[in-house]
Amino acid sequence: MRVKFWGVRGSTPTPQAENMRYGGNTSCVEVRVGEQLYIFDCGTGFRVLGQQLRDEFGEKKLPLSAHVFISHFHWDHIQGIPFFRPLYDRADSQFLFHCSSRTRSLKQVMDEQMASPYFPVNLSQMQAQQKFYDIDIGRLNLEDGVQIQTSWLNHPQGCMGFRMETKDGVLVYATDNEPGDAAFDKSVRKLAEGADVLIYDAQYLPEEYAAEKHGWGHSHWREAVNVVMESGAKELVLFHHDPDHTDVVIDKIVHDARNYYPKVRAAAEGMEIRI
């Protein structure tokens, strides 16, 4: 299993020079299991991933097929969809979108996001096949023995976490989760139990969260360390970096977190992990 980060920022893109080492694009993570492609979230990093996939598959003259899992519909997790070039290129490419429809369907969300006057083209311009699947808490059985376990996270308007189990190992993607609710705290530790890699929300500093961020739906690095240690996960990747946290701030977060747990790193655009 190969995991690659294309967008690691939370809330809004941050293309400032002081953020470039970790990156300024919003949430998007690519996973390859053999020849099968899985994508978690479609923030602005989804656009950059689309460019790379277009080059890769265009050179081979092959259609694209991918499972796309969307945690929730806040802007930083869907902003890249209208700019994902492979959706426009080939009628024989296929994208299977999986997300909750507790509020509305993804197709409706995409349609509204691209409606006039917000965007110059609409969904009808997308040639690729799009299939939409509503999911809730449970387990999905996909190709080559891949299983996806889903769980609700503690976030305004809801957010879904994903546990990906393969023959190579276990990856957990749990972004946009606020600590402090006993049921959700237990659930996220269960989701992360024994994982090889846990990608987890560490948007705030602990002191920022304590002072003014309660109820905003995000976590901090100290809670991320608690989750990885209490769940028995092997490696922690801090994710969904705050727009106001520069590379220097994130460096310090990693340094402080490693005082409690050694296998910690911060997600950075272009970073790859093999499981």
CATH number at residue 52: 3.60.15.10
Do the Cβ atoms of 172 and 195 come closer than 8 Å? yes
Q: What is the pLDDT along the chain (275 residues), one digit of tens a residue?
A: 999 999 999 999 999 999 999 999 999 999 999 999 999 999 999 999 999 999 999 888 899 999 999 999 999 999 999 999 999 999 999 999 999 877 778 889 999 999 999 999 999 999 999 999 999 999 999 998 999 999 999 999 999 999 999 999 999 999 999 999 999 999 999 999 999 999 999 999 999 999 999 999 999 999 999 999 999 999 999 999 999 999 999 999 999 999 999 999 999 999 999 99
Closest among 196, 206, 140, 150 to 174, alpha carbons compared: 150
SS3 content of the chain, % helix, strand, coil (to 5): 30, 30, 40
180: Cβ contacts below 8 Å, ≥ 6 apart: 154, 214
Q: What is the chain's mean pLDDT, rounded? A: 96
| Helix/strand/coil for 211 | helix
Q: What is the pTM of this model?
A: 0.97
Q: Report the number of distinct structural domains present in the chain.
A: 1
Q: Residue 66 sits in which domain range?
A: 2-274
pLDDT in tens, 247-273: 999 999 999 999 999 999 999 999 999
